[in-house]
Structure 1
């Protein structure tokens, strides 16, 4: 028989390594990542909080104290969504799902005249439409309130007090959670103009983690370190590299906590997390930053956008952007003598090639010729690590032998 899991109980799928303190409250969290970023997410979460983190195909599960939960939301750069599980059990058909949802005491989570929104994923043989799943959950919540007091909460998809999410497996297992994060966390709030085919911020952070940027950055201040994006677009990779050093600014961290009307919020823990200095996790003091983070692009409009984005992210003092043709100016002079660094770039493909022109860049129907560039990068960036994003299938055309290849997904485009 399935049972609801109150916020003070451990996640049903996690076995604790050590007993918790007698009065320690924990929430069963599900932290979701973009496809193929589960491993970097798990490593990042382990670096942020002391808790048993369980890897899953969709992200990670863990039991976290309220303060740890808010810290993850505020400081994780790879997490996409953070959910608190409310109940899990059999919900193969409409009646089972309704009964499962009714076993939650909704007066602990939502005011009787409050507003809520519901999303759903997955399906069963009987429940094939997510819209109907959401409606059945809504009916169970509303009926419980109406039966108790005659009043009822209402649906508001724009500015609800709480957001709920239900996931159904094909075998009929339903998990209903409250979304603790404010929408998708890839929306940092600093990027107004993303330019052509912008790289999602969480994907950029995951690429940098895979490329071991935190480990390289930790060499500072004893060693000068560089980071270079030769085709930076609106600057996402360079800005995310800087944010890994500094953490998000306080004003952006405040915007990341969702479900503002949830009655289960721990206001004191939330304030402690927000009051904590927004620091990075590399152990580097940005005030003693000994490195150069540079992005360049052939499109001046992209460079203007990158500089504005860096200002909003609070890292303009750590990064620089310049207009330059990578084939004509493959390496900024500022990197001369720097032997430790990372070349990282979302190299142009598809419609990002439209504005570049020239045979070196190729055309929308042909890949650019990177062999000349890589020859020059090997000379001027000798000893650096490289991490490049290529369109699916283009790895075979890359002129150099690579150590590892990771499949990723960028807004439905395999890379």
Structure 2
């Protein structure tokens, strides 16, 4: 099967590497997606194990469309009775990047009309729409005049791991957090610290990686489980194999935050993720934080300037830079932020910069190697 894994902008290389490690063939990075080839078992594993994928799509038809009538006719060329029955429910997600089709919801509506009209003409009845728990979720993507119609094997977005019981304001997306851990090169070979951990997404994603725990291990619902050709025995084998791979983390994973609520949320979410024995959390301001280990990795998602004044953001980032220089010699620090001025005020020389998006915010994910004295 030719499949497509959707992801966030900037994470395509990481997702391609994950797919290669799963045994995928014909891997082709795209824009916010990676195409690949694999069998049914690989599709199941991709949903269960990929950390930087949002959805796994199975294309069933492609073609050129320039008008809504051409879109309607293209969708009607698919024999939808292969994938659902008239008494099943349906949902359609539309994505468009085209001057010909400017409204994704309208694209979804026309696709839905074509599907239900096919059933009405054949049976005299039509399937109902259920946007929350459909029997079949369809994805239609238009780029310029190229249209791809696909079945969504994931249903709910794969960034929903199930461990986020509650969160602080504007938590980082789980897929982005996992991508940051993987982009940093951390492989559970040294201690990891997030000194501004919020509700714990970064340390939890690191904990899942360190313990080799599949991110969807506790998830019950996938789109493919409602497909007519679902292989329950094969899925059971894949799920059991994933459970057998779980191990104890070989290194400490530490979270810290000045806010008591954030500390408690991190503890609760870590417990929901099965990582209560892996992640240690403490309440402390970063400017008073002392490292508990001699060297390791720091991952940080500090506040940007959206909720801080320009003067405050400058002083805040200066404090971060001073703390890193004075107390964290021997560490590598990775910081994500949309604040260009904030990065300048750190007073540190970067060794790597990666463009990423945190929601709609264009950010930089920047590495600093913290040496004693000069690097030379």
For normalisation by structure 1, the TM-score amounts to: 0.81
The structure 1 residue matched to 2:351, chosen from 398, 403, 407, is: 403
Change (3 A) 1:302 1:113: same
Distance in 1, matches of 2:221 and 2:35, equals 19
C-alpha spacing 1:367/1:373, structure 2 compared with 1 (3 Å): closer
C-alpha distance in 2 between matches for 1:116 and 1:369: 49
Deviations 1:174-209 (A, max 9, x none): 101111113221111101222022111111111111
1:134 to 2:95 alignment: no
Name the CA shift for 1:370/1:155 in 2 (closer, same or farther; >3 Å).
closer
**Does residue 255 of structure 2 align to residue 301 of structure 1?**
no
Partner residue, 1:178: 151
Question: 1:302 and 1:351 mapped to 2: Cα distance?
Answer: 19
| Equivalent residue number for residue 318 of structure 1 | 278
State yes or no: 1:239 paired with 2:187: no
SS of residue paired to 1:277: helix
1:213 Cα deviation (Å)? 1.0
Contact 1:85 1:177 in 2 (8 A): yes
Alignment match of 2:165 (pick from 192, 205, 220) = 192
CA contact (8 A) 2:47 2:216 kept: no
Matches of 2:7 and 2:219, distance apart in 1 = 20
From the two aligned structures, give the one with the greater strand fraction: 2
| Residue 32 of structure 2 corresponds to residue 67 of structure 1 | no
Alpha-carbon deviations, 1:217-271, whole Å to 9, x = none?
Answer: 2x4xxxxx21111111111111110101224469744336225432243333333
**In the alignment, is residue 204 of structure 1 matched against residue 152 of structure 2?**
no
Give the alignment partner of residue 67 of structure 2, picking from 75, 87, 93.
Answer: 93
Q: Tell me the residue number matched to 1:167.
A: 141
Unaligned runs of 5+ residues in structure 2 are 364-376
Instruction: From 241, 247, 269, give the equivalent of 1:286.
Output: 247
| Structure 1 position 279, deviation (Å) | 6.7
CA distance in 2, matches of 1:290, 1:302: 25
Decide whether the 8 Å contact of 2:287 with 2:323 is kept in 1: no
Contact 1:115 1:153 in 2 (8 A): yes
1:104 aligned residue: 78
Q: Distance in 2 between matches of 1:324 and 1:109?
A: 54
Write the distance in 1 (CA, Å) between the matches of 2:55 and 2:177.
16
- State the secondary structure of the residue aligned to 1:407: strand
Structure 1, unpaired ranges of 5+: 1-26, 220-224, 354-361
Bigger mean CA deviation after superposition, 39-48 or 243-252:
243-252
CA-to-aligned-CA distance 1:23-77 (integer Å, 9 cap, x gap):
xxxx221101111111111112212234231111222001111111111111111
- The two structures, once aligned, show a CA RMSD in angstroms of 2.3
CA drift at 1:404: 1.1
Q: Distance in 2 between matches of 1:328 and 1:254?
A: 39
Q: Distance in 2 between matches of 1:46 and 1:135?
A: 36
The number of aligned residues is 362
Q: In 1, distance between residues paired with 2:219 and 2:313?
A: 44
2:299–2:334 contact (8 Å) kept in structure 1: yes
